A and B are shown apart, each in its own frame.
Chain A
Amino acid sequence: MLPDREVAGLKCSEVLEHLSSYFDGELERERRAKIEAHVSGCDVCARFGGRFADAVKALQRTLEARTEVDAGVLERLRRRLGAEL
Chain B
Amino acid sequence: MAHLPAEGAVNSDVELLALVARGDRAAFEQFVSRHEVAVWRVVQALEDDPTRAEDALQETFLAAWRNAASFRGEESARAWLLSIARHAVFRQHRKRSGEPEHVGSLTELGCAAGFGAEPTVDPMDALERRDQILRAFERLSPEDREAIVLRDVAELSAEEAARFAGTSVAAHKSRLHRARLKFAGHLRGDEHVA
B residues less than 8 Å from A21 (CB atoms): 173, 177
Please name the residue on chain A nearest to B147 by beta carbon.
A20
Contact B65 A85 (CB under 8 A): yes
140-164 of chain B: CB within 8 A of chain A: 148-149, 151-153, 158
The answer to whether the Cβ of B52 comes within 8 Å of any Cβ in the partner chain is: no
**Chain B 50-63 interface mask (CB, 8 Å, partner A; 1/0):** 00001001100110
Contact A77 B57 (CB under 8 A): yes
A52 CA to B176 CA in the complex, in Å? Answer: 13
Contact B153 A67 (CB under 8 A): yes
86-144 of chain B: CB within 8 A of chain A: 106-107, 110-111, 113-116, 119, 123-124, 127-128, 130, 133-134, 136-137
The answer to whether the Cβ of B6 comes within 8 Å of any Cβ in the partner chain is: no
Contact A20 B54 (CB under 8 A): no
Contact A26 B114 (CB under 8 A): no
The answer to whether the Cβ of B32 comes within 8 Å of any Cβ in the partner chain is: yes
Range for the number of chain A residues in contact with chain B: 35 or more
Contact A67 B41 (CB under 8 A): yes
Range for the number of chain B residues in contact with chain A: 35 or more
The answer to whether the Cβ of B25 comes within 8 Å of any Cβ in the partner chain is: yes
Please name the residue on chain A nearest to B38 by beta carbon.
A67
**Chain A 37-64 interface mask (CB, 8 Å, partner B; 1/0):** 0000000100110011011101110111
Contact A2 B107 (CB under 8 A): yes
The answer to whether the Cβ of A33 comes within 8 Å of any Cβ in the partner chain is: no
The answer to whether the Cβ of A16 comes within 8 Å of any Cβ in the partner chain is: yes
B residues less than 8 Å from A3 (CB atoms): 116
- CB contact under 8 A between A55 and B149, given known A66-B44, A69-B37: no
Q: Point out residues on B near A: beta carbons under 8 Å.
A: 25, 28, 32, 36-37, 40-41, 44-45, 54, 57-58, 61-62, 65, 106-107, 110-111, 113-116, 119, 123-124, 127-128, 130, 133-134, 136-137, 148-149, 151-153, 158, 173, 176-177, 180-181, 183-184, 187
Q: Point out residues on A near B: beta carbons under 8 Å.
A: 1-3, 12-13, 16-17, 19-21, 24, 26, 44, 47-48, 51-52, 54-56, 58-60, 62-67, 69, 73-74, 76-78, 80-81, 84-85
